[in-house]
Amino acid sequence: QAQQPVNTIQLNQVGFYPSVEKLAVVVGEPKESTFYVKTSDGKKIVFTGKLTASKPNEFSQKPIRIADFSSFKTNGTYVVEIPGIGTSYPFQIQRDVHKAAAASLKGFYYQRVSTDLPEKYAGKWHRPAGHATTDNQVLIHPSAASAQRPAGTMISAPRGWYDAGDYNKYIVNSGITMGTLLAAYEDFPEYFKAQKLTIPESANQVPDILDEVLWNLRWMLTMQDPNDGGVYHKLTNAAFDGMIMPDKAVKPRYVVQKSTAAALDFAAVMAQASRVYKNFNRDFPGLSDSCLNAAVKAWEWSQKNPNILYEQESINKQFDPKITTGTYGDRNVSDEWTWAGAELYVTTKKDNYYTAAKINTANELVLPSWAQVKTLGYYTLARNGKNLTPAAQKDLPGIKKQIIQFADDLLAGTAERTYRTVMGKSEKDYIWGSSAVAANQGIALIQAYKLANNKKYLQGALGNLDYLLGRNAVGYSFLTGFGEKSTLHPHHRPSIADGIEEPVPGLLSGGTNARAKEQDKCPGYAATSPDEVYLDQDCSYASNEIAINWNSPFVYLVSALEALQNQ
């Protein structure tokens, strides 16, 4: 009989490819230094190893040991057992071990607006369509009024994905989300061509990822004002809904003021989508051209309106109703110019876009986030390095060098850190949505791997996947439905209101957030160490919400690692 699993042995609860580094982090000071890998029924010892002493956790100062069983490569389901400490949650060793987690791309299907999710596709989480009427009758908020579209008139803006645990739809956050998913497809088309998610479009000839992305793309297109090319910042209720199912959320919806960040993120996504869907012209006639037209119009609007920020407080001083939902209030749009310029340039090969992107190979790259998309432009240029005009070609070696340098900086010191992950280099990694920090670091490492072909980058990326699936200071797998101790109570309205015990699967919790307690005031936070502030409760929106911009880098990372597992 195996001992009861305890949470002091922290490892990737999904599992490991046979030939990779396999680590468990042990919190505590066991008297004996022997550890065992056993079959998951606890009956048979398959591997015996010695715990490695490690310096205490750099944030909490807790004593740490490492169980390294990398040399054990036999397929099966196992646990790690440490006498005097306990037994880990079970995990597998096998090829394709993260294939199911990669299918968490289906998490986006569960976020779809304007459509029923029938049992056939959604299983026990089936539900009626949300916002089926409201999003066909979206009001122009006074902040968005124009001569052609006065306040109170209506537009139709259905489809899209709910942003997160709330039911609103935000262009800025859709921007990086879509860019990341489209990049995943551009980097690993063969992998995604073979993937089936069991969504309504699975029977068509188009890869499921592109069918899913199209659901949100069609919504995004409706957010552009055809009269001037500007893009509304968001489509939203005046205030957040209660914890109700989407079909019960029927309050009026508004599009609010246009912003430069929204227009440029929109332009970037549309330019990229135009490139990607060009190969599917037969399936979606005219789509690629429409996307490019939309991108160019949004770009031209931005040139005339180069710095219009979305400032909700000042809007609320002037107009009613007051809007209190998420702001995604980016204060600096220079990075959006870079990303949109790079995407438009690669799609059109027109040098004026490249010039406007202001690529600077002397500056350091920055980890992508909804507010910081500069580096996405550099990835795009490197990815399309074979198809550049001389204007960009001259910078290509510098761009590649920057990406590799960025990855090297991320990797530096990983081996000395107690959790041996790139994630957690500094306290600053544990922000709102820290899971996406880990996933985006993983993407940066994959980009470097593609350029430099050095396996150290892959190993670093895999370490961050291990982090997300359990090798972290709270010992949780942050992906709903994956791992024996995974997030169960995300701040996600359908998961709260549907009466089903398990949360909607394939959604990534925002994860540990050093400042969560002051941000959401959910009672119950006990930990103070930055790497431990996490609460698996639905009131904890600052540490336990889900969001599309966190799911997308996770999908990129896990899919890339599946695609590259034999390298």
Q: Does 483 bind ligand 9MR (CB under 6 A)?
A: no
For residue 441, what are the contacts with CB-CB under 8 A and spacing of at least 6?
A: 367, 410, 422, 423, 460, 461, 464
Minimum distance of ligand 9MR from residue 517's CB (angstroms): 14
Distance CA(400)–CA(383), nearest Å, equals 10
Minimum distance of ligand 9MR from residue 78's CB (angstroms): 36
Footprint on residues 318-337 left by ligand 9MR (CB under 6 A): 326, 328
To the query of whether residue 498 is one of the catalytic residues in this protein, the response is: no
φ and ψ of 309, to 5 deg: -90, 155
> Which residue lies nearer to ligand 9MR by CB, 110 or 541?
541
> Which residue lies nearer to ligand 9MR by CB, 134 or 384?
134
> Which residue lies nearer to ligand 9MR by CB, 93 or 256?
256
Minimum distance of ligand 9MR from residue 164's CB (angstroms): 3
**CA angle, corner 450, sides to 446 and 451, nearest 5?**
120
Length of the chain counted residue by residue: 567
Minimum distance of ligand 9MR from residue 169's CB (angstroms): 10
> Which residue lies nearer to ligand 9MR by CB, 107 or 326?
326
Q: What is the DSSP string of 139-193?
A: EE-GGG--SSS-TT-EE-----B--BSS--EEHHHHHHHHHHHHHHHHH-HHHHH
Please pick, among 58, 330, 498, 545, the residue that the annotation labels catalytic: 545
Minimum distance of ligand 9MR from residue 490's CB (angstroms): 11
Q: Does 478 bind ligand 9MR (CB under 6 A)?
A: no
Minimum distance of ligand 9MR from residue 259's CB (angstroms): 14
Minimum distance of ligand 9MR from residue 159's CB (angstroms): 18
> Which residue lies nearer to ligand 9MR by CB, 341 or 530?
530
Q: Does 433 bind ligand 9MR (CB under 6 A)?
A: yes
Do the Cβ atoms of 184 and 560 come closer than 8 Å? yes
Minimum distance of ligand 9MR from residue 549's CB (angstroms): 7
> Which residue lies nearer to ligand 9MR by CB, 167 or 280?
167
Q: Does 343 bind ligand 9MR (CB under 6 A)?
A: no
**CA angle, corner 369, sides to 264 and 60, nearest 5?**
165
Q: Does 164 bind ligand 9MR (CB under 6 A)?
A: yes
Residue with tokens 């695609």: 563
> Which residue lies nearer to ligand 9MR by CB, 108 or 277?
108
Stretch that binds ligand 9MR, among 158-166, 190-198, 305-313, 476-484 (CB under 6 A): 158-166
Of 470, 481, 457, the closest CA to residue 557 belongs to 457
Q: Does 522 bind ligand 9MR (CB under 6 A)?
A: no
Stretch that binds ligand 9MR, among 14-22, 162-170, 381-389, 442-450 (CB under 6 A): 162-170
Q: Does 406 bind ligand 9MR (CB under 6 A)?
A: no
CA distances from 524 to 36, 242, 454, 517 (A): 35, 21, 44, 9
Encoding tokens for residue 418?
A: 């107690």
Distance CA(5)–CA(484), nearest Å, equals 10
Minimum distance of ligand 9MR from residue 305's CB (angstroms): 23
114: alpha, beta or left, given left = phi > 0 and alpha = psi -120 to 50? left
To the query of whether residue 536 is one of the catalytic residues in this protein, the response is: yes
Please pick, among 330, 429, 532, 536, the residue that the annotation labels catalytic: 536
Size of the site for ligand 9MR (CB under 6 A): 10
Q: Does 553 bind ligand 9MR (CB under 6 A)?
A: no
The residue nearest ligand 9MR at its CB is 326
Tell me which DSSP letter residue 137 carries.
S
φ and ψ of 259, to 5 deg: -140, 160
> Which residue lies nearer to ligand 9MR by CB, 161 or 406?
161
Q: Does 160 bind ligand 9MR (CB under 6 A)?
A: no
Q: What sign does the dihedral 503-177-422-165 (CA atoms) show?
A: negative
To the query of whether residue 330 is one of the catalytic residues in this protein, the response is: no
Helices (H), 310-433: 312-318, 334-348, 351-357, 374-383, 390-393, 396-411
Distance CA(156)–CA(57), nearest Å, equals 53
Stretch that binds ligand 9MR, among 61-69, 83-91, 160-168, 274-282 (CB under 6 A): 160-168
Please pick, among 58, 166, 211, 466, the residue that the annotation labels catalytic: 166
**CA angle, corner 355, sides to 349 and 360, nearest 5?**
115
Q: Does 207 bind ligand 9MR (CB under 6 A)?
A: no
Please pick, among 228, 491, 492, 532, the residue that the annotation labels catalytic: 491
Of 550, 557, 487, the closest CA to residue 108 belongs to 550
> Which residue lies nearer to ligand 9MR by CB, 241 or 545?
545
Q: Does 547 bind ligand 9MR (CB under 6 A)?
A: yes
To the query of whether residue 166 is one of the catalytic residues in this protein, the response is: yes
Can you give the C-alpha Rg of the chain in angstroms?
23
Distance CA(547)–CA(193), nearest Å, equals 25
Q: Does 166 bind ligand 9MR (CB under 6 A)?
A: yes
- Applying CB under 6 A, among 211, 241, 343, 545 the residue interacting with ligand 9MR is 545
Distance CA(145)–CA(255), nearest Å, equals 10
- Omega of the bond prior to 321 within 30 degrees of 0, cis? yes
Q: Does 432 bind ligand 9MR (CB under 6 A)?
A: yes
Interface residues toward ligand 9MR, by CB under 6 A:
163-164, 166, 326, 328, 432-433, 541, 545, 547
Catalytic (active-site) positions: 166, 491, 536, 545
